[in-house]
Amino acid sequence: MYSLHAKNGESAVTSTDYFEQKESRDKGVPPNDFYTTELVEISHQGADLVLHGSLTIPKNKKQFPAVLLLSDNGPQERNGDLHGIAIFDILSDFFGKNGIAVLRYDKRGVGTSTGSFDDATLQDFGNDANAAFLWLKKRLGSQSNRIGILGHGEGTYVASLTCKLGTNPDFMIWMGGSALRGDKALLEQNKKLLIATGIQDSTVNKFVDLVHIFSQIIRFEKDNNLALDQINHSIQNQSIVFSSYEKTLLPLSKPELMALATQMTSPWLRSYLTFNPLRNLKECNIPLLALFAEKDHETPLKPNIEKLRSFANESGNDRIIIKEMADHNHLFQKCKIGTIEEYSKLEAGISAEVLNILSNWIKVQ
């Protein structure tokens, strides 16, 4: 997920296992006899680009389920490396050892994939995911009887978007994803992240209210120059007053606020602010497993669980399963506090509990 920042705030497979085996896996040679790994190229003719990725296929199985992995926001390569924890490498290894095929790829313009990352929108990432899914379906053919999509963070938005693109997955998994419209998810996320840095709730709420004003201007004014003019005017005339001390904690000078507003007019963030994942998910009446982490500071637990539960009741899809993972963070590590700074200090990657829940659920779909 996208986040703003305070000025001064910034069988389980363990991280040790990952780093010891990384060189072998990067070369496409698994450190075991359970699966093979192929380096693949996926032509995306509609976008005139090629996605490069890795396909993990279980050995000695005639048929098996398969899953396409969609990464969190930012220029992610196929391993989904976030703060030193390569969560997609961990998932691919664990799934491969449990008889589940996995396709993961470098985002467009990242790693060895071609195209432009900086100019891409959520729609573009959805089109890429659709192309990858259709490629996987064709590549495996009769080998796979069920093919689904697993999204992490922003990847859950992209996963829901594929429902309108003819992808037709057999199942879907959300890990640390938001059920809220993008502008609301942005505010909830950043409120929690900033409070976690120790800034008082009242100060954070004032700042988030200001960002809300920016996001609404950008949502409804499609021209960037006009949107920035309106934001500049709102900065000069805004009634939200910050103390001198608060200005040392947050980016509140006019140049800092205008830089933030300019960042918010990027193609990706524009598409994010208006995106409603549940509107797209209506097109997929399929089994959905949604994992939320109790100590996730990037996707706040309560508002997202409430929203998805309400959607499940309204849509009548009784195959939506929501699980709250106690003492887990956004990367689904077992943790104490859940902050971003804690990620790299934890010994293990994705917890054994989460890995087993995912693998067992996929196998029964």
154-161 and 122-140 helices, crossing angle to 10°: 70
342 secondary structure, DSSP code: G
Residue 10 has pLDDT above 50, yes or no: no
Do 128 and 44 meet the contact criterion of CB atoms below 8 Å apart?
yes
CATH fold, domain 15-181+278-363, is: Rossmann fold (3.40.50)
CA-CA distance, 111 to 75, in Å (whole number)? 9
254 secondary structure, DSSP code: H
Residue 31, pLDDT score: 59
Do 211 and 193 meet the contact criterion of CB atoms below 8 Å apart?
no
Residue 100 has pLDDT above 50, yes or no: yes
With cut-offs at 50, 70 and 90, classify the pLDDT of residue 18.
very low
Do 305 and 292 meet the contact criterion of CB atoms below 8 Å apart?
yes
pLDDT digits (tens, 9 = 90+) for 161-199: 998 887 889 999 999 999 999 999 999 988 988 888 889
With cut-offs at 50, 70 and 90, classify the pLDDT of residue 44.
confident
With cut-offs at 50, 70 and 90, classify the pLDDT of residue 292.
very high
Residue 26 has pLDDT above 70, yes or no: no
Residue 239, pLDDT score: 77
Residue 96 has pLDDT above 70, yes or no: yes
CA 298 to chain centroid, in Å, comes to 10
CA-CA distance, 332 to 326, in Å (whole number)? 10
Residue 40 has pLDDT above 90, yes or no: yes
- Which residue ranges make up each domain of the chain? 15-181+278-363, 182-271
In a 13 Å sphere around the CA of 333, the CA atoms on its Cβ side amount to 27
CA-CA distance, 182 to 114, in Å (whole number)? 27
In a 13 Å sphere around the CA of 11, the CA atoms on its Cβ side amount to 11
pLDDT digits (tens, 9 = 90+) for 206-255: 999 999 999 999 999 999 999 999 999 999 887 788 888 998 889 888 99
- Mean pLDDT lowest among 7-16, 38-47, 304-313: 7-16
Q: How many CB atoms lie within 10 A of CB 316?
A: 8
| 293 DSSP β-pair partners | 325
CA-nearest of 322, 337, 325 to 289 is: 322
Average of per-residue pLDDT across 248-269: 92
CA-CA distance, 160 to 179, in Å (whole number)? 10
Residue 22, pLDDT score: 42
Average of per-residue pLDDT across 21-49: 74
Average of per-residue pLDDT across 292-297: 95
The residue whose two tokens read 């990952």 is 18
CA-CA distance, 159 to 277, in Å (whole number)? 9
Residue 268 has pLDDT above 50, yes or no: yes
CA dihedral 270→272→195→298, nearest 10 degrees, is -150
Percent with pLDDT over 90 in the chain: 74
Residue 4, pLDDT score: 54
State the average pLDDT for the chain. 89
Report the chain's C-alpha Rg in angstroms.
21
CA-CA distance, 86 to 242, in Å (whole number)? 40
CA-CA distance, 296 to 191, in Å (whole number)? 12
Residue 270, pLDDT score: 95
103 secondary structure, DSSP code: E
- Mean pLDDT lowest among 129-133, 234-238, 254-258, 293-297: 234-238
Residue 348, pLDDT score: 83
- Give 106-109's long-range contacts (Cβ < 8 A, gap of 24+): 106/51, 106/52, 106/53, 106/76, 106/77, 106/78, 107/71, 107/75, 107/76, 107/77, 108/44, 108/47, 108/49, 108/51, 109/75
Residue 322, pLDDT score: 97
